[in-house]
Every structure is written in structure tokens, then in C-alpha cells.
Structure 1
Amino acid sequence: MKLSLPVWALAAALLPALHSARADVVTDWNVTALSLTQSSPPPIEIRTLALTHVAMFDAVNAVTRTHEAYMKPAPTAPAGASAEAAAAAAAHAVLLSIYPQQKPALDTALQASLAKLSDEGAKSAGSALGRRVAEQCIAMRSGDGWNARVAYTPPGTPGSWQPAPPSMGTFASVAWAEVKPFFVKSSTEVTVPGPLAVDSPQYLKELDEVRRLGGRYSTERTADQTAAAIFTLLNGGQMWNAAARAGAAAKATTMPENARIFAVINMAAMDALITGWEVKRKLGTWRPLTAIRAASRNPDPSWEPLINTPPHPDYVSGHSVTSGAWSRSLQLLFGTDAVPFTATFAGALTRHFTSFSQAAIEIENARIWAGIHTRTADEHGLALGRQVAELAVQRAMKKIE
């Protein structure tokens, strides 16, 4: 995967990251990675974060040797290698492999990290270790299937997914259903009940909820609900990694602890995305827009959602799936739900949250207020993501006793 962004734009995005006060090299490079991915599609952002952070973890852990490595064979560190230099070099190399045209800005970020270290020998050994771990990580995921071409033909049955305006786009992102996960061993390990029958009273009730609260010109949706709905246009990685940084600050976690935390939460989100897209492929239902316009009772051919309908099925909600994974893994890894945090979209719209679960529930509701998901698709998505997170935390890089 190689992506590009104008160098001047990246440099401008990185500048605040380099000069703001932050806890350690892991959170520094988390912000740097997010500066690169903020305009990427959510699946690409999640994959980038997962690769960057698993490389940083294995690089740091090769020095500290506190946990099992994720990659096999486990990377080994030369005597005296700096864990900080290893983490920075690993992140730099992974991101450079994805964004090769951003080398000047990434080099600047690396220099800023290494300038904080005084021992030249430790710095050199750590940097070499980090580059080696990054190469191993890139090789490990080079054939994971993220960019495969996967055919998908809509079933054409009542209630099944079909392209929706304005994009009328095909289900091109179905390839994510076949990407290799990090922790989940098979799609049968995590389950969802399945979508509601489109002629059931409960489905009709949920569709009416979307019609009333999610319409572009709704008179029932409040101003705060509108703001929450628009806020979900922010990539989940941006929001939930901000939550993780807030958790790290609140709990005063160490750099090696952060290396594991940020790796696990983003790898869990990647696995949740994969399992969610597999559900979409198998059980995908039409979007509320399609259902409302084609309703057997009170059809509204001119109805429009608040935000444009994405080109993939309603069931299950992808945003809810990944939010479930991020929120639950954060709860488990920090040992608490009560971490206040703030995230900002487009430099203008800021939301404040009192806990991880409160943020996840807001997203569940906000996708309804946005007019693009039914409640069951959101609730089941959130539950699926939580299941994935619990598996990931249970299996991830266990402490060496």
C-alpha cells in the first residue's frame, strides 16, 4: 500500500504534532501517523495504525522483553539498544513504506524523536533494530489482502443491499471481508443475531425512527444530535486514538505499556472491521434511504439522509463495529471506562466525552441521526466489536511471567 499526500500539507499537519507536549515516543508517533491518515478511507487508516503500532511494540519489546512478541520469529535487540530509538525508527519505516512521497516530513519527525536521545551508541543500535522490525512487519502483512479485487453481486431479493444515491457506488470495499486478521481465527468465533426481517414490526419502527430523526430536513432532530451525526464523518481512528492518549495521560502509563496498548487497540479495530465486513457481505441489507423510498406504506421518494449514504450495506454498522472494538479494548487495557476525552473534526467541530462507553453509544445513536443506519445494525455492530476486542485483549502479546 503506497499513498501520497502533498508534502507541504503533511509538513503543516505534522508541525503541531512535533511541538506539542506529549508523553512519549509512542504517542508522538501515534499523532504523526494520524496526521498522515486523516484524509484516508477509514479501513486504510485502521490498517496503517495497526501496522505502525505492532511494529513499534515488537521493537520496544525486543529491548524490554516483558511480553511475548507478536511477530514470529520474535525480534531480538542488540545489547544497549535504545527502546525509544527502536520505536521511532520502526514507525518511521512502516509509514514511509505506505507514504513514500512523504519522506522529508517523516524524516523530520524521526530526527525530532532521535534528538531527544543523548547516547549515540544506543540510538544507533535502536534505530537499526527498529528498521529491521519494520521490514519484518511490512513483509508479514504484504499479502494480507487489503487491495485484492473481490467480486460482489447484490442478491436482488427484497431488503437486500443495492447501490444508493448519490454515489450509486458498487460494494467495492467488500475486499476487507477477506483481509487476514491479527487475532480472530475464524468468522465463527464472533457472532451476531442477524438483521431484522424487513416486514417485521420492529424493523418498520426502526425505519420510522431513521425517517423522522435522520432526514436531511428533519424537524425532530436536535442541534446537538445534528452535531453528533456530522461528527461521525471523522475517521474513527482519529477519535479513538485521542481517547487512548487521554487514557495514557490519566493513568500515567509507561512508554512500553503504551506500545502494547496502542498496538492492541488498533489491531483489534482492524479485526473488528474485517469481521464486520464479512457480516456485511453475507447478510447485507439495504440502507434506510432505499427502504424509505421503496416502502410499501408511506413511501417517500424524495427522502434524503443528513449525510450521504456510504456504498456498502446497512447491517452491520462498520463505524459501530470498530467503535465497539476500540472502546472495549480501551476499557480492558486501562482497567476503567471513566476516561474523559475530547476529539475535533475538521478543526471546528469538537465533542467532549466522559467515558469510552459514552462515546461508543453516541456513535451508535448518531448514525441513526445521520440517516444512514437502523438501530439494530448499530447495536449489533457495537456488540460484535466488543466480542472481537475481548478476544484480542485475551490473546494479545501476553506478559512473560
Structure 2
Amino acid sequence: MNPLRTRRSALKALGSTALLAAAVTVPSATAAVAHERKSRPSVALDWYDATAATIAAAGAATQITNSRTWAISWLAAARATREVPPGVDRSAFQDAALASAVHDSLVALVPSRAQELDTALRTTLDRFPDGPAKAKGVAAGAREARRVLASREGDGLDPTSVNAPFTVPPAAPGVWQPTPPAYAPAAQYGNRLARPFLLAGPDQYRLPAPPALDSARYRADLAEVREYGAVDSTVRTERQTETATFWFGSSLTLYTEPLRVAVARSQRSTPGRAALVALFHVALVDTQIATADTKYAYLRWRPVTAIRTGAIDPDPEWTPLHITPAHPDYPSGHNTYAGAAETVLTALTGPRTAPFELTSPTDPGVTRTYTAWSQLSQDNLDARVYSGIHTRSADKAGLFLGKRVAGHALHNAERLFGVL
């Protein structure tokens, strides 16, 4: 897919090239920090934070379900803010519409947080005088929330459906088996049965098969993860261990702050900011669906199984640095997420930004500084090898798949925003 054509299609779907015109200019770190501290209060950021807090406090146990919550809420907001009725204050209407859309969507999807969300909505609406702009904005947000929620009814992304039962095939070379120490049942199999937002089907971008077990590529992959990913590795550096631990947590959690940075530094209007958040999460839902499709199509075993029981220098005692997640190796889900996130952020905000700091719940006390979205992807790629839970081929394939699915989302964004 032509990246320039993809970006142009996304810009067209989001309304106009003016919406994203400032994205390619990278301010200095000092200017960016000053702007973020002095800029007027932003309803978009307020509700971004409310969404993040809602999911952190009472979200679903399954990552894709939480991605769905983001996507629905902000797609409703992006649609509600696009068309301003004549004769009303544009800013007041759009802020009220965004707050109403996100509020109503979140209350429907996470009802246990209704009280906190109701309070947040009152706080937002109290900023504006009563009148047509506020009233029509609230009504528009409520209307679009209802529409988007109805359109996603029964999409198979609820926690029970996501973790649909999977029958593990008999043990054989290369075939995934439950992994130590818990030997837990397969997770996320149901993702590949779910209904995407924009993909024609879960298998639309299914990857080619992973490297054959008798290939030089496979031998190199296994040798690398055996040496660098072992819990007692003598070749992994302190920095590499930190990378593995820093990026071991949930991708949704780790990418919440980078996306917020992009939204906060954006000079776009309220609809433009809402569209950025919506497209990001729509692409990530579809990416996770496509990831599960490829994973369960090939059922490639994890490094711990390959090293302990495979034909190449088996070591029954080998243990990875981190516990292996309960699903197949190929491709890496962390890397499909990274590839999709990088693609959307690059297309809609440019490849670089002023330095920003990032922390991780799985590596308390450590702060990393980034200046380009691709740096997040590179750390993800390396981290899963250093953790001992993925081969490098699975990581590279993940980045490739995530970028393809996100490119598809950008190219077809008019289907999200072009028709209300």
C-alpha cells in the first residue's frame, strides 16, 4: 500500500487537509512543554483522561474489549462534533457534543463508573452558559453514542467471546502447547471470530507461514532467544533487561500516554482530536483481531517449548526471563500493536515529536524518553526477545502485520467519518 496515498485518504476522510496541517512541524522540547503547561483547558484532554481513568478503574480483563471501549466512545465523539448547526457557538457545541458522546458511551460500556462520569459531565457542561449550543451539543453526542453502540452490538469482543474455548492439538514439533509455569488454556482465540470495524474479515491480512523448523532463519531465531531471553542469561545487558521489563506490560496501558502526548500537542480542532483517538483505537481493535487470526492459523510453539522439547539441543530446564503469555508465538501481539500505533501516529501527526517521558507499571522507578514513534516499536521488537517469550521473526512479522492493518484503517477512514 502506498503510504502517501494512505495518508491522503485519511486526511480526506477526516474532513480537510487543514485538520492535520501542523502535524509535520516538530516543536522544540522547551516550546512543547511550555505550550502544554500554558494552553487553555481542553475538553478533549479532560475526556481522554476520563476514558483512561474509567478503564484503569473498572475496565474489562481483556485488552481488546478495552480497546473497543475507546474506539466506540471516541468514534461517537468524532461523529458528533463534525457538523455544527447554524447559529450556535461552534466551540461550545463541539465541546458539549464530545463530552456527551464519550460520557454516554462509557456509561453504557462501564456502568460501574456512572457516578464519576456524571460528575465529569456536569463539570464540563458548567463551563458553558445554558442555550442552544450546549443543548444541541449534548443531544448530538447522545445520538451518536446510541448509533455507534447499536452498530457494535454483538461484535464478539466481550470478555467471554474473546476467550472462547480452544482445543489444543496433540503435541508435535512446532505446534503450540500450554506453557509453564501455569500451563494455562489458550487465550484470545475468540478475537479471530470477532467482527472488525474496517477489515473485510479477520484473515484479510493473514501473514505467510513462519520460518520452517529446518530453516537457517528458525535456527538463528532460537539461538538468539535461548541466549538473550533466558532468566539467567549471561549475555543480556542491564539495559536490555530493562527494555524487556519496561515493555512487558499491557500495550494498551503503555500506549495510553504516547497517544495523549500526540493529542495534547495537536493544534487541531475538537473534531480532529476526537478523530485521531478514534482512528487509533479502531485500528488497534482490527489489528488485535488480525493478530489472533494469524496466531491460531499457524499455532507456532513458544520458545520455551521449542527449547525444552525441540530437536535442536533440548534443554528441559531452560526458563525465560518473563512468564510466557498463553497463546501462540507468531506473530507477536505486542509488536502488531506497536506497528499499528506507529502507523497511525506517523500518518496523522508526523514521525517525530518533541521529547516526552514514559513510565511503565512493570518497571517502577524507570523513565524512558522518546522522540519518535518508531522508537517505541524498536523497543517492543527487542523486548520480546530479551524476555524470552518471542522469536525475532515473530516480532518482525508482528510489526509488519500491525502496519498493514493500520494502513487499511487509514485508507478506509471515510467509512468511519464520511457517513453519519
Q: TM-score, normalised by structure 1?
A: 0.85
Residue 368 of structure 1 is matched in structure 2 by: 385
RMSD between superposed Cα atoms in Å: 2.4
Deviations 1:93-122, CA, capped at 9 Å, x for gaps:
111122211122212222222233234432
Deviations 1:274-295, CA, capped at 9 Å, x for gaps:
0111111111211111111113
Q: Report the 3-state secondary structure (helix = DSSP H, G, I; strand = E; otherwise coil) of the residue aligned with 1:172.
A: coil
Q: Report the 3-state secondary structure (helix = DSSP H, G, I; strand = E; otherwise coil) of the residue aligned with 1:328.
A: helix
Measure the CA separation in 1 of the matches of 2:287 and 2:174: 24
Residue 47 of structure 2 is matched in structure 1 by: 29
Measure the CA separation in 2 of the matches of 1:351 and 1:47: 28
Q: Report the 3-state secondary structure (helix = DSSP H, G, I; strand = E; otherwise coil) of the residue aligned with 1:354.
A: strand
Question: Alignment partner for residue 59 of structure 1, among 80, 85, 90?
Answer: 80
Contact 2:96 2:125 in 1 (8 A): yes
Measure the CA separation in 1 of the matches of 2:41 and 2:285: 25
Q: Does residue 141 of the first structure (1) align with residue 152 of the second (2)?
A: yes
Residue 34 of structure 2 is matched in structure 1 by: none
Query: 141-150 or 210-219: which moved more?
Result: 141-150
Residue 277 of structure 1 is matched in structure 2 by: 292
Q: Does residue 243 of the first structure (1) align with residue 258 of the second (2)?
A: yes
Measure the CA separation in 2 of the matches of 1:35 and 1:249: 17
Residue 331 of structure 1 is matched in structure 2 by: 346
Measure the CA separation in 1 of the matches of 2:93 and 2:139: 10
Q: Does residue 130 of the first structure (1) align with residue 141 of the second (2)?
A: yes
Q: Which amino acid aligns with 1:172?
A: A
Q: Which amino acid aligns with 1:125?
A: K
Measure the CA separation in 1 of the matches of 2:354 and 2:410: 19
The structure-2 alpha-carbon separation of the partners of 1:379 and 1:220, relative to structure 1 and needing over 3 Å to count, comes to same
Contact 2:193 2:202 in 1 (8 A): no
Q: Which amino acid aligns with 1:36?
A: T
Measure the CA separation in 2 of the matches of 1:136 and 1:78: 23
Q: Which amino acid aligns with 2:96?
A: A
Residue 11 of structure 2 is matched in structure 1 by: none
The structure-2 alpha-carbon separation of the partners of 1:308 and 1:188, relative to structure 1 and needing over 3 Å to count, comes to closer
Q: Report the 3-state secondary structure (helix = DSSP H, G, I; strand = E; otherwise coil) of the residue aligned with 1:353.
A: strand
Give the 4+ runs in structure 1 shifted more than 4 A: 19-23
Contact 2:203 2:293 in 1 (8 A): no
Measure the CA separation in 1 of the matches of 2:96 and 2:198: 27
Contact 1:52 1:95 in 2 (8 A): yes
Q: Does residue 384 of the first structure (1) align with residue 393 of the second (2)?
A: no
Q: Which amino acid aligns with 1:300?
A: D
Query: 254-263 or 183-192: which moved more?
Result: 183-192
Residue 99 of structure 1 is matched in structure 2 by: 110
Contact 1:23 1:249 in 2 (8 A): no
Deviations 1:16-58, CA, capped at 9 Å, x for gaps:
xxx9978622232222212232474322221221112111111
Q: Which amino acid aligns with 1:199?
A: D
Measure the CA separation in 2 of the matches of 1:142 and 1:85: 25
Contact 2:186 2:327 in 1 (8 A): yes
- Quote the offset at 1:87 in angstroms: 0.8
Residue 297 of structure 1 is matched in structure 2 by: 312
Deviations 1:372-399, CA, capped at 9 Å, x for gaps:
1100111011001101111111110378
- Quote the offset at 1:359 in angstroms: 0.8
> 1:126-275 to 2 correspondence within 5 Å?
126-147=137-158, 148=161, 150-156=164-170, 157-187=172-202, 189-275=204-290
Residue 412 of structure 2 is matched in structure 1 by: 395
- Quote the offset at 1:62 in angstroms: 3.7
Q: Report the 3-state secondary structure (helix = DSSP H, G, I; strand = E; otherwise coil) of the residue aligned with 2:368.
A: strand
Deviations 1:66-107, CA, capped at 9 Å, x for gaps:
xxxxxxxxxxx6963711111111111111122211122212
Q: Which amino acid aligns with 1:344?
A: T
Measure the CA separation in 2 of the matches of 1:134 and 1:268: 19
Contact 1:154 1:160 in 2 (8 A): no
Residue 90 of structure 1 is matched in structure 2 by: 101
Measure the CA separation in 2 of the matches of 1:95 and 1:227: 35
The structure-2 alpha-carbon separation of the partners of 1:207 and 1:369, relative to structure 1 and needing over 3 Å to count, comes to same
Unaligned stretches of 5+ in structure 1?
Answer: 1-18, 64-76
- Quote the offset at 1:339 in angstroms: 5.2
Unaligned stretches of 5+ in structure 2?
Answer: 1-36
Query: 129-138 or 377-386: which moved more?
Result: 129-138
Contact 2:174 2:213 in 1 (8 A): yes
Contact 2:77 2:101 in 1 (8 A): yes
Question: Alignment partner for residue 62 of structure 2, among 35, 38, 41?
Answer: 41
Measure the CA separation in 2 of the matches of 1:20 and 1:29: 19
Number of residue pairs matched? 369
The structure-2 alpha-carbon separation of the partners of 1:233 and 1:36, relative to structure 1 and needing over 3 Å to count, comes to farther
Contact 1:59 1:129 in 2 (8 A): yes
Question: Alignment partner for residue 118 of structure 1, among 115, 121, 129?
Answer: 129
The structure-2 alpha-carbon separation of the partners of 1:23 and 1:261, relative to structure 1 and needing over 3 Å to count, comes to farther
Which protein, 1 or 2, shows the higher relative CO under an 8 Å CA cutoff with sep ≥ 6?
A: 2
Measure the CA separation in 1 of the matches of 2:175 and 2:38: 48
Query: 144-153 or 96-105: which moved more?
Result: 144-153
Q: Which amino acid aligns with 1:152?
A: F
Q: Which amino acid aligns with 2:177?
A: Q
Deviations 1:209-257, CA, capped at 9 Å, x for gaps:
1111111222222222222211223322233332233223444222221
Identity across matched positions, percent: 35
Measure the CA separation in 2 of the matches of 1:326 and 1:378: 15
Query: 277-286 or 129-138: which moved more?
Result: 129-138
